[in-house]
Copies of this chain bind each other. A is one copy, B any other.
Amino acid sequence: MQIKQIAYIRSDFVEKFGIPRQSNLADTRAEIHFLPEYQNADALREIEAYDYLWLIWEFSESIRDTWSPTVRPPRLGGNRRVGVFATRSPFRPNPIGLSSVKLIGVEFREKEGPVLIVEGADLLDMTPIYDIKPYLPYVDSHPEAKGGFAEEKKDYKLDVNFPEMYLEQIPAEKRAALIQILGQDPRPSYQKDPVRIYGMSYAGMEIHFRVDKETLYVTEVERS
């Protein structure tokens, strides 16, 4: 089936490293901009009756010609193979991503037409979007469901030591989300070297940090 891009995201993530592992793990703001053909306010009529939306999007940086029946999720340390359909890995037969995001509001702009302001998106900047659907809690929400090996969000909480002089370089409205992202430990699970310095792009800045035991130390911030 041929599907057409209808929109794309504008987010603060310009590289894969540092993107939250799933949606809704950090309150990162992002915008959904429509392609010219779909810039139509009517298409969003009454959308603000919903708190959350589903985005169906393309893992545009993870396209492969072949598929592998198993993948090694970073969450499992990168050495245990599980079936690709038992994961949300980008390396699947069709590179389709699915994320629920919080709808903050709709803005109408002269150039871009209607823009959706959303929170919690785990999408790289400029990711193509193919569909937007309302989140229907009475059919989509199964809070009691078993979540398999991906369940333990809490295991990945680090204390974040972000010296004030570095924090000041981040736009004020983006600080809380950045600290959430860092607290979830953006390192691959199998890298545990306490002296290694990592670099993560966020909102036009390059954040340098290292992790020792349960604390992440920001060591430098520069314009990227």
Contact = CB atoms under 8 A, between A and B. Distances in A.
Interface of A: 1-6, 22-25, 38, 40, 42-47, 49-54, 56, 58, 69-70, 81-88, 92-96, 98, 100, 128, 130-151, 153
Contact of A147 (B22, B24, B45, B136): B136
A136 B146 CA distance: 8
Contact of A148 (B25, B42, B49, B130): B49
Given A2-B1, A83-B45, A86-B47, A134 B151 contact: no
B146 A83 contact: no
Nearest to A23: B139
B22 A94 contact: no
B142 A147 contact: no
A133 to B, nearest CB: 6
B150 A136 contact: yes
A139 B25 contact: yes
A101 to B, nearest CB: 10
Q: Among A5, A6, A22, A138, find the residue whose CB has the most chain B CB atoms closer than 10 A.
A: A138
Q: Among A42, A56, A85, find the residue whose CB has the most chain B CB atoms closer than 10 A.
A: A85
B141 A145 contact: yes
